[in-house]
Amino acid sequence: MKNMTVFPVRRFRSPAPGIHPPHLYPGYVSSVKRAPSHALVSIPQTLSEVTGPGFQRHQLKVGADLTAQGHGEPSGQRILLSGRVLDEDGKPIRNTLVEIWQANAAGRYYHAVDQHDAPLDPNFIGNGQLLTDDEGRYQFKTIRPGAYPWRNHPNAWRPAHIHFSLFGPAISTRLVTQMYFPGDPLLPFDPIYNGIRDEAARQRLIARFDWDTTVPEHALGFTFDIVLRGRLETPMENRL
Amino acid sequence: MTTSPKTDPLLGLAAAQTVGPFFQIGFEALYQNDLTVPGLKGRLVTIRGQVFDSGRLPVPDAVLEIWQANSFGKYAHPEDQQDKPLDLGFAGFGRCPTDAEGRFGFRTVKPGPVPSSTETPQAPHINVSIFMRGLLDRLVTRIYFIDEDSNRTDEILNLIDPTRLPTLLARPIPDEADAYLWNIVLQGHDETVFLDF
């Protein structure tokens, strides 16, 4: 037998059923031709799954202030969007990349494919990047996005949302999600939001209005904490 | 899988949602389909392919992310404790959107073998995440190389139905040196094997 070295692989917990939406969700019409028909094949987490890309400050090309991308202030309600990125055990996920993108206040994306008849804003692109701090905190300054129509079903409107992309420590923790606003009357009708079966998991994607981060005379504060997969207690051994 | 009981309740996980059709706005700053750097050790390869839906129509609005080890089989990550060299400047991460014909491509180095939980190292592979409008959650899979003998003993490949396994194998492109073809079929005949971990 070869002389082998043993490496601990610090595996992640599996998500409880009902938290992540299924790939096939017929209410979301474009899932029908794109969702796999076979079941996913479960594999053990190896070194490949418990590692993942890390990013450094010099790689970031976009700031965390989405209101400062043009020559003037964008239209709309200025907001401060703050929160922490944590694992399931409440440990902060430090120095991890957060990317966001969103529509402008009128509900129009700065994108060639978006043909919605609402005005573009010359002072708003709608993208942001940052790395979380040592407590896992992040803060973006932006404007509150508008709702917009889409063609999923007759008179379909997406609730106002901000797209979030997170990495965490490994490809196992990679997550793309959307943040919604409290009290949005469109939420009960949105097939993307309602693709999440677990009621508590749906509620967790709604930011909360926060007086503590609201800046007098300037911007409303919203808080949105994001929890990524935590570790199992016992590592698995990998060998080479 | 065994989970040890915790005294404190776990915090609730954030659920996945689709990237939608406009991810370019947020992702473009880190588009990178050439992972190579000057002085990179190993065999440089190009991997190209197309993404297809159930009707075999190309998917023009998908984005792929790859994560891989270097040619020594070492990940640029603090939890890779193997005594193997890193390549300066090689991060092992790539991100590429599909074009109007559903095409993507990466220029990179063929990864080396990495540890497994068995007595045989894993065959060279590239880890892939796929995001697109229509997918409420990402899909994950792996690219292996068809001309690699160690595929036979790979821990992960041995978990896969042999009739579907070829969907994970990148094949040399005739008349093009060091180029491989690897397509993704989301649904239907020759549907790609997607993984969960």
ipTM above 0.90, yes or no: yes
Is the pLDDT reported for residue B7 higher than 70?
A: no
CA dist A115 and A118 (Å) reads 8
A128-169 pLDDT per residue, tens:
999 999 999 999 999 999 999 999 999 999 999 999 999 999
A42-67 pLDDT per residue, tens:
999 999 999 999 999 999 999 999 99
The answer to whether the CB atoms of A239 and B116 lie below 8 A apart is: yes
Confidence of residue B3 (pLDDT cuts 50, 70, 90): low
Q: Are strands A208-209 and A137-143 parallel, antiparallel or unpaired?
A: unpaired
What ranges do the domains of chain A cover?
A: 6-13+62-230
Element containing residue B24 per DSSP (H, E): helix B24-27
CA dist A173 and A97 (Å) reads 12
Per-chain mean pLDDT for chain B: 96
Which residue among A11, A144, A161, A231 is the active-site one?
Answer: A161
Per-chain mean pLDDT for chain A: 96
Is the pLDDT reported for residue A1 higher than 50?
A: no
CA dist B193 and B190 (Å) reads 9
Across the interface, of A46, A61, A175, the residue whose CB is closest to B16 is A175
List of chain B residues whose C-beta atoms are within 8 Å of the C-beta of residue A40? 194-196
Is the pLDDT reported for residue A221 higher than 90?
A: yes
Across the interface, of A23, A99, A127, the residue whose CB is closest to B136 is A23
> What's the Cα-to-Cα distance from B113 to each of A7, A46, B104, B125, rounded to whole Å?
14, 12, 25, 8
The answer to whether the CB atoms of A239 and B20 lie below 8 A apart is: no
Looking at the domain covering B33-185, what would its CATH class be? mainly beta
Residue closest to A95 by CA, chosen among A132, A59, A138: A132
List of chain A residues whose C-beta atoms are within 8 Å of the C-beta of residue B10? 13, 88-89, 230
CA dist B148 and B193 (Å) reads 19
Query: What is the DSSP annotation of A178-222?
Result: EEE-TT-TTGGG-TTGGG---HHHHHHTB-EE-GGGPBTTTBEEE
Q: How far is A188 from chain B (nearest CA, A)?
A: 16
Task: Bin B134: left if φ > 0, else alpha if -120 < ψ < 50, else beta.
Answer: left
Across the interface, of B10, B17, B73, the residue whose CB is closest to A176 is B17
- Judge whether B184 is closer than 8 Å to chain A, CB to CB: no
What ranges do the domains of chain B cover?
A: 33-185
Amino acid identity of B136? L
For an interface test with A, the pick among B79, B99, B131, B157 (most A C-beta atoms closer than 10 Å) comes out as B79
Percent of all residues in chain A with a pLDDT value above 90, rounded to a whole number? 92
For domain A6-13+62-230, the CATH superfamily is Aromatic compound dioxygenase (2.60.130.10)
Q: How far is A24 from chain B (nearest CA, A)?
A: 8
CA dist A181 and A145 (Å) reads 10
A67-125 pLDDT per residue, tens:
999 999 999 999 999 999 999 999 999 999 999 999 999 999 999 999 899 999 999 99
pLDDT for res A5: 75
Check if the beta carbon of residue B141 is closer than 8 Å to that of residue A23.
Answer: no
CA dist B79 and B59 (Å) reads 35
